[in-house]
A = this chain, B = another copy of it.
Amino acid sequence: MHLDKGQYKSKDDLQDHVKVAQGNKKADCVIKNTKFLDVFAGRFVQGDIAIYKGVIVGTGHGYTADLEVDADGSFAVPGFIDAHVHIESSNMTPYQYQRAVMPLGTTTIVWDPHEIANVKGIEGIQWALISTDNLLMDSFIMLPSCVPSTSPCLGLETSGAELSSHDLAMFRERERVLGLGEMMNFPGVLFHDEEVLNKLTTFQKFKCDGHCPGLKDKDLNAYAASGISTDHESTTADEAREKLSKGIYSLIREGSCAKDADKLLPLLNSYTSAVLALCSDDRDIVDILHEGHINYVIDKALKAGHKPEDVFRIASFTPAKMYGLNDRGAIAPGYIADLCLIKPKSGNGFQCGMDIVDVFKCGQRICDNVFVEPKSKYSFAGKNINIPEIHLIDLQLDAKNPQAKTQMVNVIGMKPDQLLTDRLVAELPVLSGEVAVDIANDILKVAVFERHKGTGNKAIGFVSGFELKQGAIASSVNHDCHNVIAVGASDEALLEAIRLLIDMDGGIVVVDGDGDSVSLPLPIGGLMSNATPDEIYAKRIELKQMAKKIGCNLNDPFLQLAFLALPVIPSVKITDIGLVDVEKLKVIDVVRGE
């Protein structure tokens, strides 16, 4: 990828750009009455912005165009860049995703299609490339480095795919591919895992994103020396500062689950504005439409008293440079005309935050009718949900002693708004030889069904934290393998929810156990819908209301469910293989021996 400023198609086109810049030919559009941010010297400059064929050709005064936009004294800043995102976590397709985030100022994203790749493998990456081709929003791709998330030889889970260094190498030279996505398998680096080293070597001359929560000292040196140059997992300023000093740029993340901005923004100053960036990682549609996207973190930073010139630099110029996108991130001649017109929320300064007045992508003003639905839709062959017919008996768990009245079991102790779980032990009633749930004490049944390969793998366990009094929730969004997971207050409700999910070939379902249900079908890999942002948003709200109706008061029950099967986050999780002790990386029994 060679991207640099100076955007023209040919020598004649260059001549036209020069003529327009000189004022000897009309521009396509001039934005007047604005102060634009100079991200080079860190100041706002009064001056018009002349745009020709999607590119800024001049700043200053005296330009004319057929379209002259009066910015009404608002400020112009470069379009925002999301430096690390998994679009899939929004349940939207890339086409719909841009409709949600572009009005919020995001004009470029760096997408690691890690989720769809876990489900569909090579075809998933192919789809990611096709589905972002010719969008209005620019989407660059980091190739998923860790599919599946744990080494298959551990046998802890069944993923939809495995991607080798050879698989990834096929995509290395594709347009818009920047490099290797987050190397979550940092132990693999430290223990010299053959395939991990192969992947890093394959992408040596490309960008390599990192993912190394808590890594420090010599281990961090080793990780940095292997060529990794970003990380978005720091949760304290000290952690991020140590990583920075090792040359690992910090991407400040504000996702739906992981929210690091408040902790990391104190790192920002004029000096570090050259080495920090912003990202959303996993951010769901409710948060995007309620709070915002990159603009939300910007707002936080402004309200925290950071200088606008620092804040807007890390939202545009700096991530552009980090990823070699030298054609964007500044309001200056030769740069792509991606920009936002903004106003202070109140007063003259930005200390109360900002409002977005207008967004321009390649000089085009963003409004709803500007998005053109892609003509050819690429769809995956085969079903998303490949689970043999299931019955009540498949959800039952035998007690050790069928005659006993109770049974001791290992339980996943979920905590609100956290991905970490506790390992609990509970004594549950035994009915007709089967271990039963204990609704009064919030010990519910959780089930995982392998859905990719038709293995029929399943695991039944117990979880506390959902507080369902009746009904069940089922989902095919379930990091990183995205098998089907369900939690329920009764086997009947569980069965109903899972059957509904199978019928609609993937999605999210809540059943109340009284015959009522809400469902969001996710026909694309069981992860995404073709519906509009508003439609998906409305459905997510309905789902949440139904979950609340059956007793669940979690902030985001579906997101918490979605991380119950990820066996790389301590301390106990459940996959299609069984209950996993994450520290020991081994499967343990649900039903205890004592």
List residues of A whose CB falls within 8 A of some B CB.
2-6, 8, 10-11, 14-15, 17-23, 38, 40-42, 45, 50, 55-60, 62, 189-190, 192, 197-198, 200-201, 204-208, 217-219, 221-222, 224-229, 241, 244-247, 249, 267, 269-275, 309-310, 321, 324, 330, 332-335
Contact = CB atoms under 8 A, between A and B. Distances in A.
B222 A15 contact: no
**Centre residue among A197, A225, A226 by max chain B CB count within 10 A:** A225
22 contacts: A2-B206, A3-B205, A4-B205, A6-B226, A6-B227, A11-B197, A15-B197, A17-B222, A18-B225, A21-B221, A40-B247, A41-B267, A41-B275, A57-B221, A57-B222, A57-B225, A60-B221, A224-B333, A224-B334, A246-B332, A270-B270, A271-B273
Nearest to A42: B271
Contact of A218 (B17, B60, B244): B60
A221 B27 CA distance: 13
Nearest to A249: B40
Contacts of A3: 205
A57 B18 CA distance: 46
Nearest to A208: B6
A36 to B, nearest CB: 9
B244 A309 contact: no
The 5 lowest CB-CB distance pairs between A and B, nearest first, are A6-B227, A247-B332, A274-B274, A2-B205, A58-B221
A40 B272 contact: yes
Nearest to A335: B247
Nearest to A221: B58
A176 to B, nearest CB: 15
A275 B40 contact: yes
A22 B206 CA distance: 23
A227 B4 contact: yes
A42 B221 contact: no
A475 to B, nearest CB: 38
Given A221-B59, A225-B58, A197 B247 contact: no
A252 to B, nearest CB: 14
Given A4-B206, A4-B207, A15 B192 contact: yes
A245 B21 contact: no
A221 B11 CA distance: 17
Given A225-B6, A333-B221, A18 B275 contact: no
A5 B208 CA distance: 10
A134 B62 CA distance: 52
A217 B60 contact: yes
B5 A42 contact: no
A5 B218 contact: no
Contact of A41 (B42, B272, B335): B272
A593 to B, nearest CB: 40
A274 B62 CA distance: 30
Nearest to A272: B41
A258 B225 CA distance: 41
A247 B14 contact: no
A201 B11 contact: yes
Nearest to A276: B40
A39 to B, nearest CB: 9
**Centre residue among A55, A219, A247, A249 by max chain B CB count within 10 A:** A247
Contact of A5 (B23, B229, B241): B229
Given A4-B206, A17-B222, A21-B224, 13 more contacts: A6-B204, A11-B198, A18-B192, A20-B225, A21-B225, A38-B244, A40-B249, A58-B221, A225-B334, A226-B334, A229-B334, A271-B309, A324-B324
A201 B14 CA distance: 8
Contacts of A22: 190, 218-219, 221-222
A54 to B, nearest CB: 12
Given A22-B219, A200-B14, A229-B4, A41 B241 contact: yes
B42 A272 contact: yes
A312 to B, nearest CB: 12
A349 to B, nearest CB: 18
A17 B245 contact: no
Contacts of A45: 245
Contacts of A335: 247
Nearest to A275: B40
A324 B272 CA distance: 19
A271 B60 contact: no
A330 B206 CA distance: 18
Contacts of A55: 225
A338 to B, nearest CB: 14
Contacts of A204: 4, 6, 8
B222 A21 contact: yes
A204 B219 CA distance: 41
A60 B56 CA distance: 45
**Centre residue among A4, A38, A218, A321 by max chain B CB count within 10 A:** A218
A343 B191 CA distance: 39
A274 B276 CA distance: 12
